[in-house]
Amino acid sequence: MPISLGDCVESKDRSAGSSRCWPTSATARDIVTQMSAASNALDQALFLLVASGLTWCVGHPGEAVAEGYSINDVQKLFMKLA
């Protein structure tokens, strides 16, 4: 698959790291804004991973099933994100 799990973990780590960067003077509005941005970044990374997997499954159906990722399995993963 074009997108690796490592890419998504790296993205998750970047978004989680932002929570450690808040100055002690941060307001609730600042924190909510940063948490929202981190959440959106993680959502985008997960959708990209699942979309990439679905694309790969469509292009390589035999290999995908052999590796335990049928199109139905990947569709279920996608629906978990919805």
Mean pLDDT value across residues 35-61: 90
Q: What percent of the chain has pLDDT over 70?
A: 71
CB hemisphere CA count around 40 (13 angstroms) = 6
Tokens of 2: 């074009």
Question: Mean pLDDT in the chain?
Answer: 79
Q: Is the pLDDT score of 37 beyond 70?
A: yes
For residue 1, the model assigns a pLDDT of 46
pTM: 0.59
Top pLDDT among 50 and 24 is at 50
Of 19-23, 26-30, 66-70, the range with the lowest mean pLDDT is 19-23
